[in-house]
Structure 1
Amino acid sequence: MPTFRTIKSLTQCLKGYRTAGLRVGFVPTMGFLHAGHRALIEESVARCDITVVSLFVNPTQFGPNEDLDRYPRALEADHDLCRTAGVNLIFVPDASEIYPPGFQTYVEPGPVAEPLCGAVRPGHFRGVATVVTKLFNIVQPDVAFFGQKDFQQCAVIRQLVRDLNLPIEIVTVPTVREPDGLALSSRNSYLSAADRARARCLSRGLFAAHAAFQAGERDSQRLVETAQAQMTEVDQLQYLQLVDARTLEPILGSVEQPAALCVAACVGTTRLIDNVLLIPPPQALADHELELVSHVIGRQATAGAAGPRPS
């Protein structure tokens, strides 16, 4: 399993695979890999001939006073996970390789990047869109894999691929959770034992809203209130919003289209995000909405029926 640190060496290697007509899957990560990343890798291995994983803590998506310098890193453990999961190539560039001296061109995402995390982390999705575009240009994958936990990021990237005519299929893999429901995240390592226990209220709230939706509740305000009632243990609730799964525009009134209930909260000094999808029964959806659901939730595309569950 070779590791590449330069763009030139990686692209030279990948050229041979493309000449051979092999299907290339790509999993871009910031490292400190966990079972959620493994799920992305395993999906790529199952669907593609070659799987490439990048390990790069992208400085342009961190704002002032955020955790760039202390973001967890574990390169040796990351290599071990990649090897056992079936990765073929690893790309581990330095920041100067991705952003060489004189770099000045950025990708500006549109309205889909403005609400939710975009409102509380100005510039974050500009950095995400830029680095993902650069990595796509470097790897030129046939398929790229992202986790549902970063729901808005997935929406931004799907829009980016459509708008820039990139010939890449985007696959969103369902969130992987701890047995108690907490969504796996590299930032969970920041949590003390007490904060870790309090953080479970986020998934409890989301699951409660999902259960109410499955039981027939369609009023957006009541669904949000159901979730919020379970989230009293957090120190700061940055947002809890029910949005259209495609546009991320707020849903007011009745939920009759694929929707996402998204939350960001601080527990202690750690910022966590999570979401749950609220999908009406397939027979209630228009054809374009069914297509959206298949892109948003991948293997759970027949949902509506399948609820969130620990993995």
Structure 2
Amino acid sequence: MKIVEKSKELNALISGYKKDGLIVGFVPTMGALHKGHLSLVDEASKQSDVVIVSIFVNPNQFNNPNDLDKYPRTIDQDREMLEQTKCAILYYPSVEEVYPEEDKRIFDFGQLDKVMEGQFRPGHFNGVAQVVSRFFDLINPDKAFFGEKDFQQLAIIKKMTKLLGYEIKIVPCAIIRESDGLAMSSRNMLLTDEYRSEAPIIAQKLFESKNLLSTKNIKEVINFVTDEINKSGILEVEYFEIVDGDTLQPVDNWGDSDFVVGCIAVFADKVRLIDNLIYKKLA
């Protein structure tokens, strides 16, 4: 695995790959890697000839400066983990390398970024689009791999790819969970033992709610999940919404959409955890 910090060196390597007709797969990350990230790298290696992984904590997507400061940075451990995979290049740029000039672009995602995460984290998805499009320009991958845990982000990336006319295949990858069901996240390492022991309730109640579809309406399922998680006494649901998986707009009835997803954000003290569950998806 080669570690690259400069865009010019990266471009030269990628030009060689492209000249040889190789398929380039890209996995963007913010580091603090875990098995969920490694599953993306594994999938990329199956679908690509060359895998490039970026580690970059993007300041433009943090609306809270404290979150940016607290975000875990574990580059030495990350490098060791990637060396055990089929990653060919670790791209580890500085802020100045990614943003040689201030990125003032404003993206119009319609209603996609106005709900759920967008409602509680204003500007977050614009920052995500800025950095991902910047990486797409630098790397020009054939395929890019994103986890379904960040369900709304995935929808935003798909929309951005269309808006900017990239001929890049966006590949969604399934959520990877801990043995107790908690969705893997870099933020999990910030949880105290007390909160870590309670956090699996989020996934437990989501999975339990899937058994209620034949007897409960959407509002009742939302209330069930919210109330059951809040009963823990230390977890606090910020939102739980059941939406159309393409538009991310709320659905009122199970029959209103062929693609129905429940998306949730929960505070475990000051650590914010997100998860989701697909209730219905017709091919």
For the Cα contact (< 8 Å) 2:263–2:274, is it kept in 1?
Answer: yes
**Corresponding residue for 1:114?**
114
Q: Distance in 2 between matches of 1:59 and 1:197?
A: 30
SS in 2 for 1:112: coil
User: Please, which runs of 5 or more residues in structure 2 have no aligned partner?
Assistant: none
Quote how far apart the aligned CAs of 1:107 are.
4.2
**TM superposition shift of 1:104:** 3.7
Between 1:256-265 and 1:218-227, the stretch displaced more is 218-227
Offset of residue 218 of structure 1:
6.7
Instruction: Give a deviation string over 1:218-242, Cα, whole Å, max 9, x none.
Output: 7211222232232122443211000
Task: Quote the Cα distance in structure 1 between the aligned partners of 2:216 and 2:47.
Answer: 36
SS of the residue corresponding to residue 21 of structure 1 reads coil
CA offsets 1:65-88 (integer angstroms, 9 cap, x no match): 441112111111111111111101
What SS is found at the alignment partner of 1:279? strand
| C-alpha contact 1:35 1:184 (8 A) present in aligned 2 | yes
What corresponds to 1:31 in structure 2?
A: 31
Residue in structure 2 matched with residue 222 of structure 1 by the alignment: 220
Whichever residue aligns with residue 220 of structure 1, its letter is I
Pairing 1:170–2:170 present: yes
- Does the aligned pair in 2 maintain the 1:242–1:250 contact within 8 Å? yes
Percent of aligned pairs with the same amino acid:
35
Farther-moved stretch of structure 1 (237-246 vs 255-264): 255-264
Quick check: 133-142 or 158-167, which moved more?
A: 158-167
TM-score by length of 2: 0.95
CA deviation digits over 1:5-55, x for unaligned, max 9? 011110111000001110000000000100000110000001100000000
Task: Answer yes or no: is the 8 Å Cα contact 1:190–1:270 preserved in 2.
Answer: yes
* SS, match of residue 247 in structure 2: coil
Equivalent residues in 2 for 1:1-311 (5 A)? 1-100=1-100, 102-110=101-109, 111-213=111-213, 216-217=214-215, 219-232=217-230, 233=232, 234-255=234-255, 256-280=257-281, 285=282, 290=283
Measure, in 1, the Cα distance between the counterparts of 2:270 and 2:172: 29
In 2, the alpha carbon distance for the partners of 1:182 and 1:85 equals 24
Counterpart residue identity of residue 43, structure 1: E
* Structure 1 contact 42–85 (Cα < 8 Å) conserved: yes
C-alpha separation in 1, matches of 2:39 and 2:211: 25
Number of residues paired by the alignment? 279
Moved over 4 A (4+): none
CA contact (8 A) 2:254 2:260 kept: no
Q: TM-score, normalised by structure 1?
A: 0.86
Q: How much does 1:204 deviate?
A: 1.2
Give yes or no for contact 2:32–2:186 (8 Å, CA) kept in 1.
yes
CA distance in 2, matches of 1:150, 1:223: 21
